[in-house]
């Protein structure tokens, strides 16, 4: 293992400490715990609060989407490990502003269990909590079993739309509906070229040949749908879009938001080569790109690879996607 860190066991904590030191005007620790991060500003009374969380190692996913027009708080776990229910509960209480809390997170067993327990604790305090899970990874379960799919980079879109809905002072039921509608209209497919190394493990999460790639691999190294020889970018994009559009057809004249996401060690140049092909394919199909996001939005430490996400839009979702937002890792003007 070759990393620029201190002690492996301090990796997650020191990451959060560095982020707070750099962005103390926007984020703060709750009760001094690095597991609990909330917005630094004052709460807006009567606004629905959005709570998220998950393991470290995925920046900017989870923590990076706490800010104006996005989430209100996040619970942070160790690398690739769920945070505790107690920490989630404390974050929920801190961000609650009288209108309830939406739990918005990825579909992973440990997170489901712990967020579920936090929800029960909140309800004992008369805090209403709803939950929406990201299930955008089409490689992780077949069509018809969407509830089994993993939540990956497409969560960005749900943070964006639900966060905008909350800023408009919509009710908890409406914000929850928007989040669920967004997740239901989002699909992602990834490809990995190399593994990553969890600092405390000190070894690669999986092995893959120097001339191989795995299509559909998850952000923790979960198996994909095909391991094959390295292919040209255009072929890779074609395969990924074919899988996405077969699962979520978009009619000619339809609109989408596009996310081309790097996993941690993919040069930005390669992501733009990918977007070039995405644009070509969608133009050929008569599908309009309403907004595009190209860069690192959901990582996996130093894994080389990328993912493509599409959000199928209607007028309601397009307006919410366009709304302004601001966090230390993601800013958009109207």
Tens digit of pLDDT for each residue in 245-300?
A: 999 999 999 999 999 999 999 999 999 999 999 999 999 999 999 999 999 999 99
Q: pTM for the whole thing?
A: 0.97
In the structure encoding, which two tokens stand for residue 103, read together?
């739990």
In the structure encoding, which two tokens stand for residue 175, read together?
């914000």
Q: Is the dihedral of CA 50, 177, 150, 333 positive or negative?
A: negative
The CA distance from 224 to 210, in Å, is 17
Q: Summarize the confidence of residues 209-224 as an average pLDDT.
A: 92
Does 96 qualify as catalytic in the annotation? Answer: no
User: Any residues with CB less than 8 A from the CB of 313 and at least 6 apart, and which?
Assistant: 185, 254, 255, 256, 257, 290, 321
* C-alpha closest to that of 94 among 38, 53, 132, 48: 38
Pick the catalytic residue from 35, 58, 96, 103.
58
Residue 221 pLDDT greater than 90, yes or no: no
Tell me the pLDDT tens digit for each residue of 89-140: 999 999 999 999 999 999 999 999 999 999 999 999 999 999 999 999 999 9
CA quadruple 195, 196, 202, 204: dihedral, nearest 10: -10
pLDDT at 73: 98
The CA distance from 48 to 27, in Å, is 18
pLDDT at 223: 87
Q: Summarize the confidence of residues 163-171 as an average pLDDT.
A: 98
Q: What percent of the chain has pLDDT over 70?
A: 100
Pick the catalytic residue from 96, 103, 220, 290.
220
Q: What percent of the chain has pLDDT over 90?
A: 97
Place of tokens 């040069």: 267
Please check whether residue 295 is in contact with residue 262, taking contact to mean a CB–CB distance below 8 angstroms.
yes
């Amino acid at each position: 293992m070759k990393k620029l860190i201190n002690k492996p066991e301090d990796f997650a904590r020191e990451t959060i400490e560095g982020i707070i030191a750099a962005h103390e005007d926007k984020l703060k620790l709750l009760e001094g715990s690095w597991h609990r991060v909330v917005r630094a500003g004052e709460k807006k009374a009567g606004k629905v609060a959005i709570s998220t969380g998950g393991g470290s190692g995925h920046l900017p996913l989870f923590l990076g989407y706490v800010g104006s027009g996005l989430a209100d708080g996040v619970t942070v776990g160790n690398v690739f490990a769920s945070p505790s229910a107690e920490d989630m509960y404390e974050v929920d209480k801190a961000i609650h502003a009288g209108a309830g809390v939406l739990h918005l997170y990825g579909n992973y067993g440990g997170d489901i269990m712990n967020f579920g327990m936090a929800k029960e604790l909140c309800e004992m305090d008369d805090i209403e909590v709803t939950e929406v899970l990201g299930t955008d990874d089409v490689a992780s379960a077949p069509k018809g079993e969407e509830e089994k799919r993993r939540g990956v980079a497409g969560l960005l879109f749900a943070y964006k739309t639900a966060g905008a809905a909350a800023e408009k002072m919509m009710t908890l039921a409406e914000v929850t509906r928007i989040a669920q509608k967004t997740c239901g209209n989002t699909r992602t497919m990834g490809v990995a070229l190399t593994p990553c190394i969890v600092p405390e493990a000190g070894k690669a999460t999986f092995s893959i040949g120097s001339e191989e790639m795995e299509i559909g691999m998850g952000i923790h190294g979960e198996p994909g749908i095909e391991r094959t020889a390295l292919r040209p970018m255009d072929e890779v994009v074609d395969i990924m879009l074919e899988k996405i559009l077969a699962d979520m057809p978009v009619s000619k004249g339809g609109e989408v938001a596009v996310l081309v996401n790097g996993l941690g060690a993919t040069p930005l140049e390669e992501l733009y080569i990918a977007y070039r092909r995405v644009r070509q394919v969608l133009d050929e199909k008569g599908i309009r790109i309403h907004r595009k996001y190209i860069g690192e939005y959901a990582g996996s430490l130093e894994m080389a690879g990328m993912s493509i996400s599409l959000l199928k839009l209607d007028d309601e979702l397009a307006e919410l996607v366009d709304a302004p937002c601001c966090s230390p890792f993601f800013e958009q003007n109207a």
